[in-house]
Structure 1
Amino acid sequence: MSDADLSSAELEALRQENRKLRKINAALIDRVERSSDMAGNAFSMFETAISLEAMVRERTMQLEDALAKLAEANADLAAAHATADAARMRLRDAIDSINEGFVLFDAEDRLVLYNEAYLGFWPEIAGEIHEGMAFEEIAKLAAAHHRPVGQDRWVSDRLARHSVAEGGQVQALSDGRWVQINELRTSEGGIVGIYTDITEVKAEDARDRARELAERNIVLQTTLDNLSEGVCLFDAEGRVAAWNEALQRLLELPEDWAQEWGSHDALIDWCRDRLGMADNRCLDWGADRSELVEAGDRRFELRSNAMARGGQVIGFTDVTDMLRAQAALRETAETLERRVTERTAELEAEVTERREIEAQLREAKIVAEKANLSKTSFLAAASHDLLQPLNAARLFVAALGDRRLALPTRALVNQTSTALDSVEDLLEALLEISRLDAGAIQPEIGDFRLDRVLDTLRTEFAPMARSSGLTLAMESLTAVDGPVWVRSDIRLLRRILQNFLSNALRYTQRGSVRVSCVETAQAIRISVTDSGPGIAPDKQQLIFEEFRRLDTPGSRGAGGKGLGLAIVRRASDMLRHEVTLESAPGQGATFSITVPRGEAVMEEGEGGGPQRSDRSMRGLSVLVVDNERAIQTGMSTLLGGWGCAVTTAAGFDEAVGQFADGQAPDVILVDYHLDEGETGDSVIERLHRHFGRPVPSVMISADRGEELKAKLDGWGIPLLNKPVKPAQLRALLRTMLK
């Protein structure tokens, strides 16, 4: 129901209510009068009349208010209708003023709006087009008048393009005009179309193509004239279409030969009869071959090629002088051959030496290319974007570990922290190996306990083994004088063993995976043995190459890139640890690495000394500047659990707005890479100027480059690499507060 209909209904209801009130008033007055006649009490009648008059007056005022509101609503409705009509007229004037044809269809594909320019594209059917008409009816009507080739197919193709409405298309009209149609779907599901006459553009394009073709013909003729070879081109009817001056010169043709007798048959007669050319049927129409022919005391190389669309191309090259030169060269060559034979014996030794050098160079090139590809792969696999969420996860887990938790929950938190440690070590190992390829760093060799490395691996891989229905056994060494110490890079060694275990669990379907250690005089041999399908001897060296995988049936995690054992080979070469493989098809596999023995060292916390400082950080004001909200939340949770007052910001402008004049934090933690090219070092410098004094600051970054580290060392700013280790952060803060 429209606004006008609703107002009429309300007015009629008010009128009925007014009539009812009048009837009630008349009845009440009549009753009063009859009561007055019966009782004869004049005062009672007067009092009743006054009461009734007040009631009638109140109802009358309510009716008048309702009528006033109704009149106001009618006025607003009339104004709205006037505004809508004006807007509709302005829209109609706007689309009629544009040169392009405009048409609008609703969601049911019925014509809603169009202008005169649109009808100008269909003058024959302009009188039959009207609003509410379906697009399909218009398309069929246009096809019926223009009668394009394949009328039904034209209609179906036009309907299909119209239903997609995702761009422009070009169509030719029956009167020779060209129109470009651009159709787009509206937000309400309808379609708006713009029709543009591009006939002039098409005509100009045709003229451009004609000019281009003429220019190409000129270039072709110029090219032919600059050839030393005589060339002639015949069309499908055998008439000469193009030739060059070299043809006339070589065949001694008259100047007007093309005008007088320029045909294929005439050229054959001239060559065979006048020149005595023995062409071996190479000049015949349709021939497609090359021949060396004689013409008196001259020799010609004759090439005849049939064109795909009819026609023939024939080329003549005078090779008389060349053949004479070849004969002279052959004679010279025979003389030189004897000298070459003598010289060959002298050069054989030199050639052999050069071949050896070339083989060495090729091998060095292959090694360099492999190293470069590996470096690129490693750098792409571990980047700042991978370390950001890992850093946030570590902060949340560390904050959760500081709270009071039930023992099962705390165990899960510890396992999560251990898994994060493994992921962090994995990423760091990838980055370190890629930098080792570039010669930027060297492995950090140190002495450490082997049992702790194996315990970490047991915690990491035990859940994976249980979920696969496998038994994971760790057989570590037990020395009489204490734990077994080895000397290596702990991160690279753990990465090697992780790859051994990961491959064993992936390719073993049933049975067990066993880690064992065997003592030798100067080293410890660590082996990972599985009961998997085994590896054929011809594949045992290939699997240590990059991107090499053995996708055996039923193997788990076959989506890896085959980098695991390539990393093992590279890391072991850097560490100079021997890696061996013992396997046979159907008998499982044993991967081993031999690690030198190490010397026992005093660990932190041993000897009765405390492992950490007892100084409290409660009330410490810390400003965290990081563009990742997850990192901000993790830092706030972690530092808040230590009793710190944490303020977070995404950059310098947000940071300075967190502190009133004269206030400053006790410590600033800043991420190096911020938004819009802002860097942590510039933020620290600007914050120091804003606060009017230097504030202890810590830089946090996933960039492990030596350049950044050297720059921060020069400024005296400590650097923490992502993912941030909570214990390392806590120790650094305590050191800075002393």
Structure 2
Amino acid sequence: MSDAPARTETASAEAEQLRTEVRKLRKINAALMDRVERSSDMSANAFSMFETAISLEAMVRDRTSQLEDALGRLAKANADLAEAHSHADAARMRLRDAIDSINEGFALFDADDRLVLYNEGYLSFWPEIVPHIHEGISFHEIARLAAAHHRPPASVVAPDRWVSDRLARHGVADGGHVQALADGRWVQINELRTSEGGIVGIYTDITEVKAEDARDRTRELAERNLVLQSTLDNLSEGVCVFDEAGRLSAWNGALERMLGLSGDLARTITTHADLLDWCRTHLGMRDEGCLAWRGDQATAERVGRLCHAGERSFEIRSTTMGRGGQVFGFTDVTDMLRAQESLQETAETLERRVSERTSELVAVNRQLGEEVAERRVIEAALLEAKTAAEKANLSKTSFLAAASHDLLQPLNAARLFVAALGDRRLALPTRALVNQTSTALDSVEDLLEALLEISRLDAGAIQPEIGNFRIDRLLKTLAVEFTPMARSAGLVLEFDAQALWVKTDIRLLRRILQNFISNAIRYTPRGSVLVTCCPRTEGVEVAVTDTGPGIPPEKRSFIFEEFKRLDTRSQGKGLGLAIVKRASEMLRHPVTLRSAPGEGSTFSIVLPEGEEVRDEEEAGRLPRSDRPMRDLSVLVVDNERQIQSGMRTLLTGWGCAVATADGFAEAAAHFAGDVRPDIILVDYHLKDGETGDTVIERLHQHFGADIPAVMISADRGEALKAQMAAVGTPLLNKPVKPAQLRALLRTMLH
């Protein structure tokens, strides 16, 4: 909007210049034509002048054409200017409507502190000076008008002082303040500076808030007085309070009863003098100056006396209050004194009985001491049992993690033998038994992997490795993995994945989605399973929806516990969703479940959005030649003879020449001269504390560093993975899957 005046001035200047040139050209043309018409001879001079007129006419025509172009540009500039003015007027009107629509008062001052824009809400705070307020008036003039009409109560006594204070606060414009108006209203003023040096102010009526605050304080004071009176009424001693002028301000019923004025104290005693007269004259109380007036003292003082009034005795306490006034407390101790006399008479009897009871108390104390000691022993035993239970709970996960090697070693050997047996030509019944054995081993492996994964999650052995990656690529690998499983179950498995970047741990996310998809396929008798990926306001949601029987609301938390399944007829272990719960809590990614009986279920997880990174994996991958497995020399280093035998049987079936060893010394002894293996397979945990990484390093020094090596271990910890990744050695987890091993060997061979 600020460029419109400049364009208008430029267009106007160009138009005026063109008009001046046209007037000059018209005058020249008229003069020439006049001379031609008045000339009567046809001499060469006249003809020359005619030619000059013709040339001048051509020049005029050119200038006229230029003038028309300039006028066209001027018309376009005027049209643009009119459109700009229209847009500016519309924007100004919308701004005015928006300001008028707000409930608060609005005022905008320019850099010279002059009023630019305001609304009716602003004028409603200054009704007396509304006729004087207009655009262009300075804030100083508005403040003086407000003070002159005593609009703020503070301006009544010292208007000039109020104006200077208001101008100072207005000049700072760093926030809000509250101001009272003469009509009883309260306004909160918030002033801030604009980017152009002006000041914008918002005026909010907070009268109702102030009134509510006053009502709350009054109510609180009344409640306090009620509580104070209730407290006084519940005291057993008589209490009365006098203000700084000696007037009775509070008392309780106990005082009325003690002084014999039940229900009549307010009429009989209204001042301190009335109390003093009633106690000394009517009751005959000898107070010894305890009831004297000291309520006008500046310091607090407390006096207490035992005073007698006839046959009755009172304990009187007199306390002065620092702000003026005095409190008297009366306690009837007549019965207490009589009791003391009675006690004095029985003191001797009590002394004798005390000696008797002392011995009894000593015995009781001894018994109590024994009971206390016994209780301490029990508490120590309970504490020890609690500590032992906590240690046992922690040792459970530690034991499962530490025992993974021993648990997976025989399973690894069995899988190798079964895989080798499956590669041979067998009769159909025998092959069926081999397949059943392989399926059983898969089930055992899945169960052990789930247990070990839960134990490592509980023990904190798994630490997330957060990175950015495309979610659709992960879902494509899951589609390849689970499509055969869904097809064999008679289900349709569909993936609808967008190319979205997420930021999380890809391994833990893969495990979560694997459990979602496998559960959906396992518990869906017919229909389909749909995996979707779409952006949400809180991140990227990956959802797995099935057409299964659904989950009742009361069972939704039940299924996330270990070994808990809704359908016990399925082959699941009840550990998948327990792993999902632990992994999602570790990643802090919310997991939700939407389900209804008979309508299927949807498990989803929300992932944080990631940043796109350069994908060098595909660009940097070079094609490798596929070397045949036949006659491949493989060195297997493992301290378990069963593993050696199983690996030998499996690799020999693939046509490889296999040498086995239990450590570096035996491995080096198998090869003499220039003979060396083509590839090395080494177990991480060997005998006598020897580790696989050390063996690989020594074998590379012995045979050469160009021999590819593969580390095999039941240790699934992050430390070993990082260690192997740092030196570029592939790592296979036990139990080794033959297909995975074969694919790795083919990939590593150039």
TM-score, structure 2 as length reference: 0.47
Larger radius of gyration: 2
